[in-house]
């Protein structure tokens, strides 16, 4: 049996100590330990995510550039993806609690991912002059970096961002865009009474 030697931080050692409580055989135990760690990681506050965005600005911008480049040749990158690529990607995202399976080849972002995404996109588009769809991409990139705990490749972060946003999260960006445009109009014409139906 191979022997692995590594220096661990106190946090890493505390996580590894839970190995005896995790089900599975050999390598499966490590995989299940990672899942346990990811699923039980507490949600951070808005200010902590803002600090991480600042600290990892260049890395996030690099991932964002990868996403933009995927759109240079097509408006819908996922249309050219094979079933195998989607299966591998969705499996990775399910394992890390980004997506949950709702049926055969049917998924939804997990409630934890959705609630964090909504907080992040609001903060990002409020604190910067960035457009709503770029804000959605940044929020998703940051969450994939967080949920993956450093295990996701650049390609997984790029493709995961596109897959999640095209499938679900761009809807939030569209609603924020509509709301901001509505508020701009309201400021331009402050004397006009807005019908109740327009704000419902």
Task: Report domain extents, the chain.
Answer: 9-40, 44-187
Residue 11 pLDDT > 70: no
Burial class (CB in 10 A: 0-12, 13-18, 19+), 99: buried
Residue 193 pLDDT > 90: no
User: Span 178-194, mean pLDDT?
Assistant: 70
With cut-offs at 50, 70 and 90, classify the pLDDT of residue 33: low
Q: Are 97 and 185 in contact (CB under 8 A)?
A: no
Report the predicted TM-score, pTM, of the whole model to 2 decimal places: 0.75
For residue range 165-183, list pLDDT tens digits in order: 999 999 999 988 888 888 7
For residue range 60-94, list pLDDT tens digits in order: 999 999 999 999 999 999 999 999 999 999 999 99
Whole-angstrom distance, CA of residue 12 vs CA of residue 90 = 27
């Amino acid at each position: 049996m191979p022997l692995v030697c590594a220096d661990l931080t106190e946090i890493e050692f505390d996580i590894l100590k839970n190995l005896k409580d995790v089900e599975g055989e050999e390598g499966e135990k490590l995989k299940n330990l990672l899942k346990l760690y990811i699923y039980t990681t507490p949600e951070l506050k808005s200010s902590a995510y803002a600090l991480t965005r600042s600290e990892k600005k260049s890395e996030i911008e690099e991932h964002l550039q990868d996403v933009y480049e995927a759109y240079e040749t097509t408006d819908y990158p996922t249309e050219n993806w094979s079933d195998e690529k989607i299966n591998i990607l969705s499996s990775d995202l399910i394992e890390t609690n980004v997506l949950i399976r709702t049926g055969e080849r049917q998924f939804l972002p997990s409630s934890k991912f959705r609630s964090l995404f909504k907080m992040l996109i609001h903060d990002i588009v409020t604190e910067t002059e960035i457009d709503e769809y770029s804000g959605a991409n940044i929020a998703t990139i940051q969450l994939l970096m967080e949920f993956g705990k450093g295990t996701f490749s650049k390609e997984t972060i790029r493709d995961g961002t596109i897959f999640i946003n095209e499938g679900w999260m761009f809807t939030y960006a569209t609603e924020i865009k509509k709301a901001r445009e509505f508020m701009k109009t309201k400021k331009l014409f402050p004397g006009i009474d807005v019908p109740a139906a327009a704000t419902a």
